[in-house]
């Protein structure tokens, strides 16, 4: 069984643990073992060490990467920011002098960065390692007839020269679209597909600017697709879509809410897993669409996962 070190980050284990649970359900069922990286910390997030001290960034990332190296596994994360931060740290650590300085820092805590583990995003493992056909084989419910808007997020796309797995064209990403279509749903293109959702440093620095960007994107989604649900593989985008729709609605700036899920939550639902475990923590209302996905009429001929 192929094995990855599961790197959780911050948002998923503490804000949306149902996403973490969806990883723990679907990967073994798809033939991939996930091993915890005990004691892993924040990647470190862009607003922390990367904003203060480049070598410290590389040391904290290097420590996290060393946890996977010690287990001789590649690292897999479901958080786009963690994927970006860890991949960039690896890129900076190609510089021999920096690596030497960083390993001196790590030496103080009896650790070493070797560079032997690669960094994968959950979406990469699903798309490139497990593959669409294997996913289709495991579906208990089909999403046929449902319209989905996909939100890939930023940090798996650019800068493509530091990423271990790349899209053919990072301004026209297709992996999440294909993963979503594998569930039977349609995932039409829209003009702001690769536009930023406004989460991250922008939201903590100036919430109005963040909401402005978000609203622009959301209205484009509503007008061009009017989807049954939004699916993302970025935990930050997930939180932005989940918390900002009710906010805008309360202000009277929008008169709708679209249910939003992390991709593996929808996959877990389609594989027959219990919604109270894999998709139960949200501000936007999702009960209706969850019931629809797991309805009798959508059953494929597969047995329960």
Q: Give CA–CA dist 43/64, Å, rounded.
A: 7
Terminal C-alpha separation, the chain: 18
Is residue 115 within 8 A of residue 66, CB to CB? The reply is no
Q: Is 28 in the site for another protein (CB under 8 A)?
A: no
Q: Is 278 in the site for another protein (CB under 8 A)?
A: yes
Residue with tokens 């593996």: 264
Q: Is 219 in the site for another protein (CB under 8 A)?
A: no
Give the distance from CA 179 to its chain's centroid.
Answer: 13
Helix, strand or coil for residue 152? coil
CB closer to another protein out of 142 and 284: 284
Q: Give CA–CA dist 243/122, Å, rounded.
A: 23
Is residue 187 within 8 A of residue 148, CB to CB? The reply is yes
Helix, strand or coil for residue 181? helix
Element (H, E) at 241: helix 235-250
Is residue 90 within 8 A of residue 115, CB to CB? The reply is yes
Residues between 55 and 114 with contacts to another protein, criterion CB under 8 A: 55-56, 59-60, 63, 81, 84, 105-106, 108-109, 111
Q: Which stretch binds another protein (CB under 8 A): 15-23, 126-134, 143-151, 285-293?
A: 15-23
Q: Which stretch binds another protein (CB under 8 A): 10-18, 131-139, 222-230, 288-296?
A: 10-18
Site map 178..217 versus another protein, x via CB under 8 A: -----------------xx-x-xxx-xxx--xx-xx----
Q: How far is the CB of 167 from another protein (least distance, A)?
A: 11
Q: Which residues would be at the binding site for another protein (CB under 8 A)?
A: 8, 10-11, 13-15, 17-18, 20-21, 24, 36-42, 44-56, 59-60, 63, 81, 84, 105-106, 108-109, 111, 154-155, 157-160, 170-171, 195-196, 198, 200-202, 204-206, 209-210, 212-213, 276-278, 280-281
């Amino acid at each position: 069984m192929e094995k990855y070190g599961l790197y959780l980050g911050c948002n998923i284990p503490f804000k949306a643990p149902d996403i973490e649970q969806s990883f723990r359900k679907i990967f073994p069922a798809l033939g991939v073992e996930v091993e915890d990286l005990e004691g892993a910390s924040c990647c470190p997030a862009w607003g922390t060490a990367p904003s203060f001290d480049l070598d410290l960034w590389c040391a904290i990332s290097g420590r996290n990467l060393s946890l996977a190296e010690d287990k001789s596994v590649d690292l897999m994360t479901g958080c786009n920011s963690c994927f970006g931060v860890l991949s960039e740290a690896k890129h900076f650590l190609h510089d021999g002098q920096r690596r030497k300085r960083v390993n001196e820092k790590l030496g103080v805590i009896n650790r070493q960065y070797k560079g032997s583990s690669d960094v994968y995003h959950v979406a990469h493992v699903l798309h490139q390692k497990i593959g669409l056909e294997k996913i289709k084989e495991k579906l208990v419910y089909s999403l046929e007839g449902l319209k989905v808007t996909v939100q890939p997020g930023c940090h798996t796309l650019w800068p493509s020269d530091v990423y271990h797995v790349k899209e053919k064209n990072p301004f026209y990403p297709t992996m999440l679209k294909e993963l979503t279509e594998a569930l039977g749903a349609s995932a039409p293109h829209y003009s702001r597909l690769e536009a930023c959702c406004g989460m991250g440093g922008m939201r903590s620095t100036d919430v109005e600017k963040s909401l402005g960007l978000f609203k622009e994107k959301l209205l484009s989604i509503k007008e061009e697709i009017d989807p049954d649900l939004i699916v993302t593989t970025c935990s930050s985008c997930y939180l932005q879509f989940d918390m900002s729709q009710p906010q805008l609605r309360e202000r009277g700036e929008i008169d709708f809410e679209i249910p939003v899920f992390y991709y593996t939550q929808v996959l877990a639902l389609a594989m027959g897993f219990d919604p109270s475990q894999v998709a139960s923590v949200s501000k936007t209302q999702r009960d209706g669409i969850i019931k629809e996905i797991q309805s009798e009429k959508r059953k494929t001929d597969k047995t329960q996962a």
